Amino acid sequence: MEASTTNYLRKRLTEHGLYYWKMSDRYNSGRPDVAIFHSGRAYFVEMKAPGKQATPLQYKIGRELSKRGVFWVVVDSQKLVDKLVDDITKGRVYGKQKEGTHQG
């Protein structure tokens, strides 16, 4: 379930003192669910239930962000949450992400 992965992301971000915003709402389709801010950079995250993919509109917005050098990723598991948080806190994530899949 997407909610449990999102709650886990919030927990991990809080544990690491990372500042974030919950962004999505029903009036702004396609926007990433979460924005994370760390060391002068912004990271945009689309949260999905395990095994689910982003919608075509979400991928379109992700590609627009990526074209502008902004990191955008789809996360669908606690394992990917852990990798994302670890990479952000250790400075291993910069700019765009290929097809929005966090592989590190």
pLDDT digits (tens, 9 = 90+) for 5-64: 999 999 999 999 999 999 867 778 899 999 999 999 999 999 999 999 999 999 999 999
List pLDDT tens digits, range 77-95.
999 999 999 999 998 875 5
Q: How far is CA 50 from CA 5, 66, 89, in A?
A: 8, 23, 24
Instruction: Read off φ and ψ for residue 33, nearest 5 degrees.
Output: -75, -35
Residue range of the domain that includes 63 = 2-100
Report the CATH number at residue 6. 3.40.1350.10
Sequence-distant (6+) residues with CB within 8 A of 104 are 83, 87, 92
Total structural domains within the chain: 1
Task: Count Cα neighbours of 80 within 13 Å in the Cβ-side half-sphere.
Answer: 19
